[in-house]
Structure 1
Amino acid sequence: CCHIYWNMSAEFYPGLKSPNVFDSVAKGNLSELEKYLKENEVNAVNSANETLLHIAAAHGHTEIIDYLISKGSKTPLHLGAEKGHIALVELLLGSNADPNSADKEKKTPLHLASIGSHLSTIKALLAKKSRFGAKDMDGCIPAHYAAISGNMEILKALLVAGNYKNINDKNIWRKTPLHLTAEYGHSDMMHYLLSNGSAINALDNNKDTPLHCACKAGHFNCVNTLVNWSAGEKVNLQATNSLKKTPLKSHPLRPLVHFSTGI
């Protein structure tokens, strides 16, 4: 059995510099694997489209599994979620694959599906109790990535799943989803976030508010949304960041905002 993996890897993965890594995994030989595994080979596949992680799991080699994951190996569920292969994801979830397993970057399948904007995959993961508030190594929850992409349906699905309690979660740069919608120019999404409790004057690591972010990025529609927001807390036009600058007076958008709002 072990020699079959060796031969398959050599014959069907010609780019693999160390064909005996498949053999090492099948045998559960960690020291040998550590010796031969190259960084770019961790997700190599054999003729049956099996990764090293597949083989380690099939043989129950938990130490090998932990090592491969630490080196960046992706679980089948991570791969399916990343590519939006809903049939595969549903099959794996139905076979009790862990929806909250984390990769080397602490990303769960839900993070990867959110990055790829795969709505059906996200719904399938949420139905299996995937953690909508899980943070990766950058402190981002899946909703941060939805805010970057501007996919409203995905953002809604993620926030509704958590009853909006994660709407003001901050990453390691202390940015909320609202900061990111301001940076990336998604004014419609910004309106949705504000309507559901996003903190309009939240501060990031640079003491920038979402309005600072929108001004810096030159997104007039976002600036206009923030400046004219009238429900609940109002935007702080005099907020100063770590450079002692207010959002509007220090940016070229100032004349446009003045023309539109009279401010």
Structure 2
Amino acid sequence: MNPAKSPDVPQPPVIGKVSHHSIEMSWMNGENKSPTGPAEHRTHFSVEQMDPKTHTFSSIYIGYSTRHLVEELKSSTYYSFRLMVTRPSGECSFSPAVSVFTNREPFNGKNLHQALNRENEQELTTVLQSGVVNVDVNDKMGLTPLMVAAQKGFTSLADILVKHGADINKRDSTGKNSLMQACYSGHLDMVKYLRNCGSTWQSRDTDGCSPLHWAVDGGHLPVITFLIQDGCEVDVMDKVSLWTPLMRVSAISGNAAVACVLLQAGADVNVRDKAGKTPLMVAVLNNHVELVKLLLDSGADQHLKNEYGAGAADMAKAFGRQNIMNLLDKISMEDSNRLTSTEQFCYGDKK
């Protein structure tokens, strides 16, 4: 049988609810006969917390209440407390110390994205299996974990996310989905994986751009080739400027190798945008000399005019594109010579 404790030694605080950042505690007030009476007739209490480095105690609460909530604590950390009781007589006594271990902080979206960015499959799985984190939670850039995986080419992590319910059709603020992210970043394995999961080439962002538009912007030939072989429409237009992927090449990168793949797949070399411009005109405006040559060799018509009546030669002259002007003049002269040769062949010398 345990010996009774001395009435002069208070019991330690009774620990109530413990979270990752707070601890509830209470204590008995049996000695306080008049808890609401005059202060001189009341027992008051002080909750003291121990400093783990110095092992000294300091007060975190002083008053007449018999309960206290300690907040702003660290998760997964030991804390020690004791109770000092001061009776109306002025006599003070201390309780034994009581130690408490705060809970681990609940998983959240930040933990999920951190696991993904560390490419840690086990950590990612642990967070998802906790059941408290939305698999499609956005990071501060508005991207879901699957979008980030698509950008980085983390195919095995993408598979974990999809198996835990990630939405392959989720879009960011500009309307790009994970497939577009993978196409732009050039991760062919990821592109194939998302296609197998049901992602479609018909998806569009807020400007009406397709996955092929984004693959072309990224300049990744294997991805572009796969998209075309997989049935992606090569002359798909956005809904803002009516630009096809070939027009995007003319306007942005000027990448002749990308343009060559598109042209070999049947891209319309003389397609017109909303303002009546052709890929040739746009390439001239952006001084993409190699692309201009490729487009001309592929049948681009330099005599076409935009809605303001200006053609490729007019634009080259207006912006002082001398190399391009020389190229256009050369093509015009060759066309003229071919016409003269044809006339001589058909009609002979009339002199």
What does residue 212 of structure 1 align with?
Answer: 281
TM-score where L is the length of structure 2? 0.54
Q: Call closer, same or farther: CA 1:196–1:5 in 2, change over 3 Å.
A: farther
Find 1:236's aligned residue among 273, 276, 301: 301
What does residue 227 of structure 1 align with?
Answer: 296
| Distance (whole Å) between structure 2 residues aligned to residue 256 and residue 112 of structure 1 | 37
- The Cα of 1:259 is off from its aligned counterpart by 3.6
Q: Call closer, same or farther: CA 1:261–1:2 in 2, change over 3 Å.
A: farther
TM-score where L is the length of structure 1? 0.70
- The Cα of 1:177 is off from its aligned counterpart by 0.3
Q: Deviations 1:138-170 (Å, cap 9, x if unpaired)? A: 211111111122211111122222x14x21111
Equivalent residue runs for 1:112-127 within 5 Å = 112-127=181-196
* RCO comparison, higher one (Cα < 8 Å, 6+): 1
Would the aligned equivalents of 1:72 and 1:104 in 2 still touch at CA under 8 Å? no
Aligned residues: 221
Equivalent residue runs for 1:1-150 within 5 Å = 4=20, 45-46=110-111, 49=114, 58-59=131-132, 73-150=142-219
Q: Call closer, same or farther: CA 1:237–1:102 in 2, change over 3 Å.
A: same
Gaps of 5+ in 2: 1-16, 23-71, 76-104, 117-126, 336-351
Residue 177 (str. 1) matches residue 231 (str. 2): no
Residue 245 (str. 1) matches residue 333 (str. 2): no
Larger Rg: 2
SS for the counterpart of 2:214 is: helix
Q: Call closer, same or farther: CA 1:145–1:98 in 2, change over 3 Å.
A: same
- The Cα of 1:212 is off from its aligned counterpart by 0.8
Gaps of 5+ in 1: 13-21, 27-43
| Distance (whole Å) between structure 1 residues aligned to residue 162 and residue 248 of structure 2 | 31
Higher-strand-fraction structure: 2
Q: Call closer, same or farther: CA 1:204–1:10 in 2, change over 3 Å.
A: farther
Residue 255 (str. 1) matches residue 326 (str. 2): yes
User: Which 10-residue stretch deviates more, 94-103 or 199-208?
Assistant: 94-103
Would the aligned equivalents of 1:5 and 1:46 in 2 still touch at CA under 8 Å? no
| Distance (whole Å) between structure 1 residues aligned to residue 21 and residue 259 of structure 2 | 52
